[in-house]
């Protein structure tokens, strides 16, 4: 008889484990929305594509309060305006409600469309610890046809770094001279400490020779490049999730607790700027992300 009793119990344990896992996945997704690792539009796409996914089973009120600057009062007004019951889950919305929610989102937080760009100058930026350096290094190794710009910096070389290969390590006075003589396409003080800048000459030469150029620089630099070269393509590298970004920063072990907290605060601000980029690429797998960057460069050059 015990055979007849056991399976339902096993089922219950399995079901409750599944429920815990689903709740965790939804909590993680809400962090991703709040930290802007995913756009709300992408969450809707996932929810409508699969109502059983973490996005699909997320309740609409929880989705709304995960968005920036939406508290409980605003949430209730939006639900009333869109005529959506607070018990509804994203995946359970009817066609008309889906359209109303999607249209409301697009009005409230528009995502920059892919611009038609001409130049093969591509800027790769993204939050701290997302792995920009690793993706750039992968491109350097596997795509010699791409010129990876070498920046000038006032910071000291780390062990193993070679002048002229990883950076041009320069003095403050030399950096001042480069600025004064307009030798830098952009420059910025990064992490409130040292100055970094992109030498203009090699880039101009490479573009003239028809080569693609990749800059791996910080966000301030990315926007400066857009100002001086409006045809440049700005690519934002995203972590697979906020939790993963935190793991990478902690796992790297190169920063102390205070510095880590500071960098995470910076990352939060940086993620909020992603909608101003032309493309977003998720760095889940370095080789795949690198290939996507290279594909974009080839598409831009056409």
Q: Which residues bind ligand 5GP (CB under 6 A)?
A: 132, 151, 155, 186-188, 190, 196-198, 216-218, 220-221
Which is closer to ligand 5GP, CB of 244 or CB of 270?
270
Radius of gyration of the chain from Cα atoms?
Answer: 23
Rank residues 37 and 66 by Cβ distance to ligand 5GP and give the closer one: 37
- Helices 242-252, 257-271: crossing angle, 10 deg rounding: 150
> Which residues fall within 8 angstroms of residue 219, CB to CB, at 6 or more apart?
125, 270, 273
C-alpha count within 13 angstroms, C-beta hemisphere, residue 272: 10
CB of 157 to ligand 5GP, least distance (A): 10
Task: Yes or no: say if 233 and 112 are a contact pair by the CB < 8 Å rule.
Answer: no
Nearest distance from C-beta of residue 132 to ligand 5GP, angstroms: 6
Instruction: Tell me the residue number closest to ligand 5GP, measured at CB.
Output: 221
Closest separation in Å from C-beta 220 to ligand 5GP: 6
User: Residue 61: phi, psi to the nearest 5?
Assistant: -60, -35
Nearer to ligand 5GP, 111 or 148 (CB): 148
Q: Are 239 and 280 in contact (CB under 8 A)?
A: no
Q: How far is the CB of 112 from ligand 5GP (least distance, A)?
A: 21
User: Smallest distance, Å, CB 114 to ligand 5GP?
Assistant: 23
């Amino acid at each position: 008889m015990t055979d007849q009793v056991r399976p339902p119990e096993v089922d219950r344990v399995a079901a409750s484990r599944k429920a815990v896992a689903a709740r965790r996945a939804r909590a993680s997704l809400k962090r991703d929305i709040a930290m802007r690792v995913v756009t709300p539009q992408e969450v809707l796409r996932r929810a409508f594509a699969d109502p059983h996914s973490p996005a699909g089973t997320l309740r609409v009120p929880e989705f709304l309060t995960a968005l920036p600057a939406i508290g409980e009062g605003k949430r209730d007004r939006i639900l009333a305006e869109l005529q959506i019951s607070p018990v509804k889950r994203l995946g359970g919305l009817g066609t008309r409600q889906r359209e109303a929610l999607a249209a409301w989102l697009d009005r409230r937080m528009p995502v920059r469309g892919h611009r038609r760009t001409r130049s093969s100058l591509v800027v790769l930026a993204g939050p701290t610890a997302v792995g920009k350096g690793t993706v750039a290094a992968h491109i350097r190794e596997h795509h010699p046809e791409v010129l990876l710009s070498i920046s000038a910096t006032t910071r000291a070389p780390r062990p193993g770094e070679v002048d002229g290969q990883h950076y041009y390590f320069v003095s403050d006075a030399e950096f001042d001279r480069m600025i004064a003589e307009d030798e830098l396409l952009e420059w910025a003080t990064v992490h409130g400490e040292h100055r970094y800048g992109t030498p203009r000459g090699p880039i101009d030469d490479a573009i003239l020779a028809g080569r693609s150029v990749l800059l791996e620089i910080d966000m301030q630099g990315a926007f400066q490049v857009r100002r001086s070269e409006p045809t440049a393509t700005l690519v934002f590298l995203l972590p697979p999730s906020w939790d993963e970004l935190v793991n990478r920063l902690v796992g790297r072990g190169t920063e102390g607790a205070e510095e880590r907290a500071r960098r995470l605060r910076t990352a939060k601000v940086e993620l909020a700027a992603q909608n101003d980029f032309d493309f977003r690429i998720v760095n889940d797998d370095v080789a795949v992300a690198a290939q996507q960057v290279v594909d974009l460069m080839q598409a831009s050059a056409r």
